[in-house]
Chain A
Amino acid sequence: MSNASPDRDGGARERLQRWLPKLVLSPSCVLVLFFVYGFIAWTSYISFSDSGMMPDYTWVGLHQWSRLWTSWTWGIALHNIWVFGLLYIVSCIVLGLLLAILLDQRIRAEGVLRTIYLYPMALSFIVTGTAWQWFLNPGLGLEKTMHDLGWQSFSFNWLIDSDMAIYTVIIAAVWQATGFVMAMFLAGLRGIDGEMIKAAQIDGAPVWKIYVRIIIPQLRPIFLSAVVVLAHLAIKSFDLIVAMTGGGPGNATAVPATFMYSYAFSRNEMGIAAASAVFMLAVIAALIIPYLYSELRESRS
């Protein structure tokens, strides 16, 4: 008996060691399963139901989806997200790369400048949106300042122009994210072997060709990361638009996220809202999953 008990103790400890991590992780695992994946499933179901102001579990098949795709506002929202996403991603990458290249020229006060460019990223979209709304508001901001300074003919009213309002949102969004993209590119530029640039100089390549032919092709993984990060930020963009234009004038700056919010909470069309939410999830998943897959495969090999 006395010989057997240490053995049994050791076995119990071993079992505890084996089970403890699982025990500790299981509550959060359950919470994530329920609140994330559970609600994804629930929302997907709602998009096939007859829900209006309250959830209604009557199955109506693709009825809500066909209503979504025939909706005029949804068309505007999709068009806007295309324009917004494309210009946002391209401008952020072009400006970010340009700033990174300029900052990489061993200039003085680089640390200060880098921080200045990065700061906008520390602000929430609500703050950015509100600040830019004030700044671009013709009665308060830039236009009024110019008028007060004596330039009476100055006019910049894009914020209240339904054709141009989406571009003001793009300006604010680009202002916020460019510094972050710049930091990514700067890290990439710093990782490039200096001897390679010397070799290219001896080979007789002018500076712009060194960048185009040798340096920028090596930044390909950073381009990929930047596109994925910016694309999902663009699709999720909600607070910036709410703060700046509230989706207006009219529906001029509606995007899928604001569409979903207004249909779910102010227009009592939960079914359509759920369908639009599932659609956005599908688009983001289509972007992120291949990216994560390639990243994880790379780190494993």
Chain B
Amino acid sequence: MSFLHINNVHKRFGETHVLKGIDIAIEQGDFLVLVGPSGCGKSTLLNMIAGLDSISEGELLLDGRCINDLHPSRRDIAMVFQSYALYPSMTVAGNIGFGLEMRKVPRKERREAVDRVARLLQIENLLERKPGQLSGGQRQRVAMGRALVRDPQLFLFDEPLSNLDAKLRVDMRTEIKQLHQRLGTTIVYVTHDQIEAMTLASRIAVMRGGELQQLGTPQAVYDDPNNLFVAGFMGSPSMNLVKARIVEQSGLPVAQVATDGATLTLPIVRDRDALRGWCDRDVILGLRPEAITDPASANHGEGNIHEAELPVALVEPTGADLYVVTSLGGTNVNARMRPGTPLRAGERTRFAFDVSRMVVFDPESEQRIRDAYTADVASLEATA
């Protein structure tokens, strides 16, 4: 039995079907991130776990008990809101202690709990201030303190970092991750930022249009996407998606991609069995920018490298990397090369394709074409 089990949960607002049967299960100590574009239903799902929205159909189990009809205050959860939702008329100490006060915890115990959390979050010197006198980052800490002080079974975070500036956001992200590691709490976290999702999560649930697209570890979601949407949503710069055609060469399926004037043939390594059935049909290839490099920085040890000479359309140095744009199958493709590689637009250079990381999608259903075995692993992982 898993710790939090979201079992075929639906949400309807009148005629609109907002959540269409979500199944997610996580273990105690997991950090689940619900990620997706706005309107995908992730916040609605979080509100339903919190008890702020009703459940139209399905079941919500926390630690084995059904919490469908429990009042938010009786679910043993705490929530951190996007706007922090601090009570402006109370001091920081009053804000943090309010939940305990409502639960009739004696004043002395309350004071001790507030002090303990304030020490943990390093806000002891702010306890007597009002929220209006705090900076964005300090308010964020107080909001987390208010959740931590009650020591609930489950923490819910609703885009808690989106109101902070970029620098502070990265710092707070690290701090949330450290808190999670130190306290071993179970967290459900909503964000639209896939980098936040990748860095924080132990499980990522990618959602779109009220449906769960993929559930898995960050690495699994990144390397082994279920469909075109997940492939394009996760990762920055995003995965290169290239039109190609599967043909058979000496008994094996290969992918053929049109480049300027020539045809690039890439051997198929992954999902070879499934792709045998796709000969002479169009597909979409997915290649992460780091799977297309200069030959010198390609991973010759583990990877299955295929080299080709292609024209350089654009060079974008970021300092840490050099992104080189070329054209494959009619679309621009990003390749990640070593910084300092002497390249200029208009030149031709050799690109190294790590075909062992290449994934293939059905252009019509937008689903991944994968072998039965890997599909099994992916679905096992989803229900684990």
Asked if A195 and B81 make an inter-chain contact with CB atoms under 8 angstroms apart, the answer reads: yes
Asked if A199 and B73 make an inter-chain contact with CB atoms under 8 angstroms apart, the answer reads: no
A192 vs chain B, min Cβ distance (A): 10
What interface size band does chain B fall in? 20 to 34
Q: Which partner residue on chain A sits nearest B75 by CB separation?
A: A202
Q: Compute how far the CA of A201 lies from the CA of B78 in the bound complex, rounded to whole angstroms.
A: 10
Asked if A202 and B73 make an inter-chain contact with CB atoms under 8 angstroms apart, the answer reads: yes
Whether a CB of chain B sits under 8 angstroms from the CB of A204 is yes
Asked if B52 and A201 make an inter-chain contact with CB atoms under 8 angstroms apart, the answer reads: yes
Q: Compute how far the CA of A205 lies from the CA of B99 in the bound complex, rounded to whole angstroms.
A: 8
Whether a CB of chain B sits under 8 angstroms from the CB of A83 is no
Chain B residues with CB under 8 Å of A67's CB are none
Q: Which of A182-213 contact B (CB under 8 A)?
A: 193, 195-196, 198-205, 209, 213
B131 vs chain A, min Cβ distance (A): 10
Given A193-B83, A195-B81, A195-B82: A202 and B72 interface contact (C-beta under 8 Å): yes
Q: Which partner residue on chain B sits nearest A201 by CB separation?
A: B72
Given A205-B98, A209-B102: A214 and B89 interface contact (C-beta under 8 Å): yes
Asked if A198 and B103 make an inter-chain contact with CB atoms under 8 angstroms apart, the answer reads: no
Q: Which partner residue on chain B sits nearest A205 by CB separation?
A: B102
Whether a CB of chain A sits under 8 angstroms from the CB of B50 is yes
Whether a CB of chain A sits under 8 angstroms from the CB of B283 is no
Given A193-B83, A209-B102: A202 and B89 interface contact (C-beta under 8 Å): no
Q: Compute how far the CA of A249 lies from the CA of B87 in the bound complex, rounded to whole angstroms.
A: 51
Tell which of A195, A205, A213, A218 touches B85, judged by Cβ atoms closer than 8 Å. A195
Given A201-B73, A202-B77, A205-B102: A218 and B88 interface contact (C-beta under 8 Å): yes
Asked if B87 and A198 make an inter-chain contact with CB atoms under 8 angstroms apart, the answer reads: no
A71 vs chain B, min Cβ distance (A): 46
Q: Which partner residue on chain B sits nearest A203 by CB separation?
A: B99
Task: Report whether over half of chain A's contact residues are helix, strand or loop; otherwise say mixed.
Answer: helix
Given A202-B72, A203-B73, A203-B102: A196 and B87 interface contact (C-beta under 8 Å): yes
B172 vs chain A, min Cβ distance (A): 18
Whether a CB of chain A sits under 8 angstroms from the CB of B325 is no
B167 vs chain A, min Cβ distance (A): 25
Asked if B102 and A204 make an inter-chain contact with CB atoms under 8 angstroms apart, the answer reads: yes
Chain B residues with CB under 8 Å of A209's CB are 102
Chain A residues with CB under 8 Å of B146's CB are 199, 203
Count contacts on A: residues with CB < 8 A to the other chain. 16
Q: Compute how far the CA of A196 lies from the CA of B98 in the bound complex, rounded to whole angstroms.
A: 12
Given A201-B52, A202-B79: A193 and B85 interface contact (C-beta under 8 Å): yes
Q: Which of B18-61 contact A (CB under 8 A)?
A: 47, 50-52
Asked if A198 and B99 make an inter-chain contact with CB atoms under 8 angstroms apart, the answer reads: no
Whether a CB of chain B sits under 8 angstroms from the CB of A217 is yes
Chain B residues with CB under 8 Å of A193's CB are 83, 85
Q: Which partner residue on chain A sits nearest B86 by CB separation?
A: A196
Tell which of B50, B71, B86, B98 touches A198, judged by Cβ atoms closer than 8 Å. B50
Q: Which of A94-132 contact B (CB under 8 A)?
A: none
Chain A residues with CB under 8 Å of B72's CB are 198, 201-202
Given A203-B98, A203-B102: A198 and B79 interface contact (C-beta under 8 Å): yes
Asked if B73 and A204 make an inter-chain contact with CB atoms under 8 angstroms apart, the answer reads: yes
Q: Of residues A195, A204, A214, which shows the largest number of chain B Cβ atoms within 10 Å of its Cβ?
A: A204
Q: Compute how far the CA of A202 lies from the CA of B82 in the bound complex, rounded to whole angstroms.
A: 15
Q: Compute how far the CA of A264 lies from the CA of B95 in the bound complex, rounded to whole angstroms.
A: 58
Q: Which of A251-290 contact B (CB under 8 A)?
A: none
Chain A residues with CB under 8 Å of B88's CB are 217-218
B242 vs chain A, min Cβ distance (A): 43
Q: Compute how far the CA of A217 lies from the CA of B73 in the bound complex, rounded to whole angstroms.
A: 22
Contact with A along B263-299 (1 / 0, CB 8 A): 0000000000000000000000000000000000000
Would you give 15 A-B contacts (Cβ < 8 Å), ordered by A?
A198-B85, A200-B87, A200-B98, A201-B73, A202-B52, A202-B79, A203-B73, A204-B99, A204-B103, A205-B98, A205-B102, A213-B98, A217-B88, A217-B89, A218-B88
Query: 9 nearest interchain CB pairs?
Result: A204-B73, A217-B89, A203-B99, A195-B85, A204-B102, A199-B85, A195-B81, A196-B85, A202-B72
Chain B residues proximal to chain A, CB less than 8 Å: 47, 50-52, 71-74, 77-79, 81-83, 85-90, 98-99, 102-103, 146
Chain A residues proximal to chain B, CB less than 8 Å: 193, 195-196, 198-205, 209, 213-214, 217-218
